[in-house]
Amino acid sequence: MSLTTQRNGYVMRDRRGEKNAGGFGTYATPRNSGQQNWYRPRPFTGSDRVIDQYDWTEILDFSRQLFAQLGNIGSAIVQKNNYAVGAAWLPQYTGENRKWGDQAEEWLVQNWFPTCDVQGLDFQTNLFLTGLALDVDGDDLMLLTKSDSGFPMLQFIPAHRIKSGGSEVKGGPFDGAKICNGIIFNRDGRAIGYRIAGVNGDEPTDVSAFNADMAIEPEWRHQGRGIPRIARALMDSFDVQDIDQFLKRGVKLDASIGLIHYNESGEAQTPANFLGMRTGDASTTNPTDIMVESRYGGEVLYMRANSGEKLEGLHSERPHPNTEAFIARLERRILLSLGWAYELCDPSKIGGASVRLIQDMARNSVKSRQRAIRRRCRRAINYALAVAMKTGRLPRNEADWWKFDYEVPALLTVDAGYDEQADRENLKIGSSTLAEVCQKKGKWWEDQRKQKRREAFDLIDQASEVKTYAASKGMTLSDENAISMIQERSANPQPITPDTNDQTVNP
């Protein structure tokens, strides 16, 4: 093996020039896996100066493979983003022009959300895919564009299409600017543009950051590209894959052995010799003979015995409890790197006081993801509103057209009854607000108030009809009785009593 040193001094290359080691240590693949005894790359997740285009592409490929191949990783990422995005994120106008706000909300939800994506996906699905991309790809790019009729549209570019060659832009509006891994920077290190690789050999396109939004959750200063959250657990994930693969081979081998036969020769015998009798069918065999029938479905393992013969079943200890515990240890580290708790994928392990700690950790992880989603949601909706007002699809609002908030999914909880009781008590003493309580349920407090008012009006109308019908039958009901017959709020319903305002008393 010939060694080749890069600028960081940690990369070894084989005689073909391919990377097979790096970082601050080594990782040898198992010799019996059919692979050569090379070393797997150990990418260091730091700034752009450390991660070049090759390293970042390799991390991206590994992350996508692990998301698709390892069930726990894929399930945890999907579960986390379902809590963060779900089917929520409906816009809620918070400005003063309430009439305009109602029109804007209806236009966004009914007209723009279903048709905003050039590929045909709805807006909420794209927010969910953005959340997945932050965990698996590290980032993705949203372009602000329009249809031929001037309708505001969005185009989403996956991470693998944002790339570049060289370190400086040649020609075009960004001529002379620094470019690193597809991100074009100005002298202050601010991203001013993005280079998108062409499809089917087309030339790459440089787009301005003014018309694009890069979703990223930075963890390093001067970080232009996002780093997949799986990246810090790549090596543990590879280990889990290897162990699981070899363990399944052993379990399959054990399951294929039906019996263990110990005999003098250690070899298989014919059924007749084994039972000490002859084979035949009903027409040629004496009635006292025992019929021999061969059955298939389980292999017999033959072992040589010095004396005596015996048959016994295979007693397998695979997977051993220690092995299972070690796999769980690795998977716990992997899921923690994703900002998710192992116990949320295996609730059987949850118990005691640790439940609320796990719940709080998961809530914080969801809130962190929602900050990135909120930034993208605000950029997209503000763009849609601005274009809609410019093209006459919405009336103009010069005062506070950008004042919008968003519904978020219901808060993750492991004890809904306890949380409900705590919310009621906090609302009574004033330490909480209706907006906070509704937000936990994924609802908007103004919509809740409007719905309660509509239900109250309907309840009064229905109770009035009940009283009128009762009077036609010779009965007189009080308002409370009529309402309680439709909706009872107490476990002990009121007795039917006559209306005190009416002089007619039923016998």
Q: Give DSSP secondary structure letters for 323-363.
A: HHHHHHHHHHHHHHHTT--HHHH-GGG--TTHHHHHHHHHH
Residue 48: per-residue pLDDT: 54
Residue 287 to residues 274, 280, 291, Cα–Cα distance (Å): 20, 11, 9
DSSP reduced 3-state for 149:
coil
- Yes or no: say if 70 and 241 are a contact pair by the CB < 8 Å rule: yes
Query: 31 versus 210: which is more confidently predicted?
Result: 210
Q: How far apart (Å, rounded) are the C-alpha atoms in residues 482 and 476?
A: 10
Region 194-198: what's the mean pLDDT? 91
Residue 138: per-residue pLDDT: 92
Residue 153: per-residue pLDDT: 96
Residue 29: per-residue pLDDT: 46
Q: Name the band, by pLDDT with cuts 50, 70 and 90, for residue 379.
A: very high
Q: Is pLDDT of 95 > 50? A: yes
Q: How far apart (Å, rounded) are the C-alpha atoms in residues 159 and 140?
A: 5
Percent of the chain surpassing pLDDT 90? 32
Q: Is pLDDT of 110 > 90? A: yes
- Yes or no: say if 395 and 453 are a contact pair by the CB < 8 Å rule: no
Region 106-122: what's the mean pLDDT? 94
- In 3D, which of 146, 28, 171 has the Cα closest to residue 386? 146
Q: How far apart (Å, rounded) are the C-alpha atoms in residues 160 and 481?
A: 67
Q: Is pLDDT of 64 > 80? A: yes
Sign of CA dihedral 63, 65, 67, 70: negative
In 10 A of CB 246, how many CB atoms? 13
Region 227-232: what's the mean pLDDT? 88
- In 3D, which of 484, 477, 482 has the Cα closest to residue 502? 477
Q: Name the band, by pLDDT with cuts 50, 70 and 90, for residue 231.
A: confident
Q: How far apart (Å, rounded) are the C-alpha atoms in residues 379 and 213?
A: 8
**Residue that is written with structure tokens 């601010």 in the block:** 190
**Residue that is written with structure tokens 């949203």 in the block:** 142
Q: Is pLDDT of 389 > 90? A: yes
Region 275-295: what's the mean pLDDT? 50
Residue 213: per-residue pLDDT: 94
Q: Is pLDDT of 284 > 70? A: no
pLDDT tens-digit map of 401-424 = 999 988 888 887 766 666 777 777
Least confident of 88-92, 114-118, 392-396: 88-92
pLDDT tens-digit map of 300-321 = 766 666 667 777 777 778 888 8
Q: Is pLDDT of 293 > 60? A: no
Residue 97 to residues 102, 377, 400, 405, Cα–Cα distance (Å): 9, 21, 8, 15
Region 187-210: what's the mean pLDDT? 90
Report how far apart the first and last C-alpha atoms of the chain are (Å, whole number).
107
**Residue that is written with structure tokens 């209706």 in the block:** 434
Query: 17 versus 180: which is more confidently predicted?
Result: 180
Residue 437: per-residue pLDDT: 73
Residue 23: per-residue pLDDT: 36
Rounded to 5°, the CA angle 252-255-259 comes to: 145
Residue 135: per-residue pLDDT: 94
Q: Name the band, by pLDDT with cuts 50, 70 and 90, for residue 22.
A: very low
Q: Name the band, by pLDDT with cuts 50, 70 and 90, for residue 99.
A: very high
- Please report how many Cα atoms fall inside a 13 Å half-sphere around the Cα of residue 274, on the Cβ side: 16
Q: Is pLDDT of 52 > 60? A: yes
Residue 177: per-residue pLDDT: 92
Query: 435 versus 32: which is more confidently predicted?
Result: 435
Q: How far apart (Å, rounded) are the C-alpha atoms in residues 134 and 72?
A: 17
In 10 A of CB 71, how many CB atoms? 9
Q: How far apart (Å, rounded) are the C-alpha atoms in residues 21 and 238?
A: 15
Q: Which amino acid is at 196?
A: I
- CB within 8 A of 45, min separation 6: which ones? 51, 59, 220, 227, 231, 232
Output the 3-class SS for 127-141: HHHHHHHHHHCCEEE
Which sequence spans correspond to the domains of the chain?
256-320, 444-507
Sign of CA dihedral 82, 83, 85, 90: positive
In 10 A of CB 184, how many CB atoms? 25
Whether the model clears a pTM of 0.85, i.e. scores above it, the answer is no
Percent of the chain surpassing pLDDT 70? 76
Region 381-409: what's the mean pLDDT? 93
Residue 498: per-residue pLDDT: 55
CA dihedral (48, 53, 55, 57) in degrees, to 10, reads 120
pLDDT tens-digit map of 454-500 = 888 888 888 888 888 888 888 888 888 888 888 877 666 666 655 55
Task: Classify residue 298 by its DSSP letter.
Answer: S
- CB within 8 A of 311, min separation 6: which ones? 259, 260, 261, 262
Average pLDDT, the chain: 79
How are beta strands 299-304 and 257-263 bridged, if at all? parallel
- Yes or no: say if 313 and 260 are a contact pair by the CB < 8 Å rule: yes
Residue 216: per-residue pLDDT: 92
- What is the H or E stretch that residue 434 is in? helix 434-440
- Yes or no: say if 501 and 467 are a contact pair by the CB < 8 Å rule: no
Residue 271: per-residue pLDDT: 53
- In 3D, which of 449, 356, 373 has the Cα closest to residue 409? 373
Residue 149: per-residue pLDDT: 93
pLDDT tens-digit map of 246-270 = 888 888 888 877 777 777 666 776 6
Residue 505: per-residue pLDDT: 40
Q: Is pLDDT of 392 > 90? A: yes
Residue 394 to residues 92, 174, 382, 389, 447, Cα–Cα distance (Å): 16, 35, 13, 5, 22
Region 9-13: what's the mean pLDDT? 39
* Strand ranges in 324-455 using DSSP code E only, listed in sequence order: 404-406
In 10 A of CB 368, how many CB atoms? 12
Task: Classify residue 306 by its DSSP letter.
Answer: S
Residue 156: per-residue pLDDT: 96
